Amino acid sequence: MQITLPNTDRSLSTYVLTGTPIAASIRKAADFNRVAFAAAHVVVDPLANADPWSDTPIDWDATLAYRRYLWDLGFGVAEAMDTAQRGSGLDWPAAQDLIRRALAEARDHDGALVACGVGTDHLSRAADVAIDDIIRAYETQLEFVEGQGGRVILMASRALAAAAKGPDDYVRVYDRILRQAKAPVILHWLGEMFDPALVGYWGNTDHVQAMATCLDVINANSSKVDGIKISLLSADKEIAMRRRLLPGLRMYTGDDFNYAELIAGDSFGHSDALLGIFDAIAPAASEGLARLAKGDEPGFHQILEPTVALSRHIFKAPTRFYKTGVVFLAWLNGFQSHFTMLGGQQSARSLVHFATLFRLADQARCLRDPELATRRMSQLLSVGGLE
């Protein structure tokens, strides 16, 4: 098969597909020797008579079907995270509905793992939000998720980043919330490349100094922490922090640029995974993790390394728009009948970006039905004026 695609220099060229799709094999989480969560996207209803900029018309059947697909491949689902457009189209009432439905679905799916995002995104963005308001907001969401029987991912707070005067405010907030948690939680340090509103998190723009504050919080509350996901797109920083964690605490890589080497690890340890890219490359990630669990590290890299270029493209700056590439690939792969997103974010990337993504997905063997993907890519190009 072949298709004419646009290039970055405005020219057109014929691309011949070469990738053999990686088969999706049924697996359990126990088949892996790493804990692996995929942060899952949501599917909207394109026929809903709603304002795409302010309403959240979610297609629940397709959204929950995708979670069943991820569970069938052995992944846990990280629910209501930024991959699901939390804070950029998915508001707290819709996130509550999503969490409630996903947890109910998981109860009927043998071995399904779910961890749910707890944040402060229902707060007003007014400048006078105080630290006590932020604590109460976290408590509200923590109570809801725990009340649903959900495991907690304690998300970074835009309100806290705006209101905090320094590291002590972060220590105060996290100490207060962690002491109340009924079970160990996963912390989530989301870097400013993913969300510019989180610049200076942990009270410092220097990541190394911010890391020291974060580690102080973790060490003071280690019985209430399962681990931490950091998303700084720096393998060196993740490894440095991983080596400073107390024994038994997990580092969940959120590095969509360097995940293969971080999951494989070194003689000092490895990272587990909580990744948005696993939504997009699920069969490849599942196959790679299964090989790693069998002691076949070369086979793990053989499968995963070709996906890294695809992931780096999807997560390229402005990184906060990576969700557009994730949903685009789900559409190419037939998991949804349309390419429509909450907040109209299907418009956040260019036609040339999508064309490059198509090539890289083929080369990474992540187009599960190349004929369908080619047809849909052609349809998008036609809408963009390339007949």
∠211-217-220 over CA atoms, to 5°? 135
Asked if 57 and 91 touch (Cβ cutoff 8 Å), the reply is no
**Residue 89, phi-psi category: left (phi > 0), alpha (psi -120 to 50), beta (remainder):** left
User: Which sequence spans correspond to the domains of the chain?
Assistant: 24-320+329-342
Asked if 95 and 117 touch (Cβ cutoff 8 Å), the reply is yes
Q: CA-CA distance, 61 to 357, in Å (whole number)?
A: 27
- In this structure, the number of other CB atoms found within 10 A of the CB of residue 356 comes to 22
Q: CA-CA distance, 94 to 346, in Å (whole number)?
A: 19
- In this structure, the number of other CB atoms found within 10 A of the CB of residue 310 comes to 26
pLDDT of residue 323: 97
Pick the CATH number of 24-320+329-342 from 3.20.20.70, 3.50.50.60, 3.40.50.2300, 3.40.50.300: 3.20.20.70
Residue 210 has phi, psi (to 5 degrees) of: -60, -40
> What is the amino acid identity at position 236?
D
pLDDT of residue 54: 67
Buried b (16+ CB within 10 A) or exposed e, 151-189: bbbbbbbbbbbebbeebebbbbbbbbbbeebeebbbbbb
| DSSP one-letter code for 125 | -
Pairing of strands 2-6, 12-16: antiparallel
pLDDT tens, the chain, 387 aa long: 999 999 999 999 999 999 899 999 999 999 999 999 999 999 999 888 877 666 668 999 999 999 999 999 999 999 999 999 998 999 999 999 999 999 999 999 999 999 999 999 999 776 789 999 999 999 999 999 999 999 999 999 999 999 999 999 999 999 999 999 999 999 999 999 999 999 999 999 999 999 999 999 999 999 999 999 999 999 999 999 999 999 999 999 999 999 999 999 999 999 999 999 999 999 999 999 999 999 999 999 999 999 999 999 999 999 999 999 999 999 999 999 999 999 889 999 999 999 999 999 999 999 999 999 999 999 999 999 987
∠40-42-44 over CA atoms, to 5°? 165
Task: Compute the CA torsion angle 264, 268, 270, 271 (nearest 10 deg).
Answer: -140
Pairing of strands 76-79, 36-39: parallel
pLDDT of residue 126: 64
pLDDT of residue 53: 67
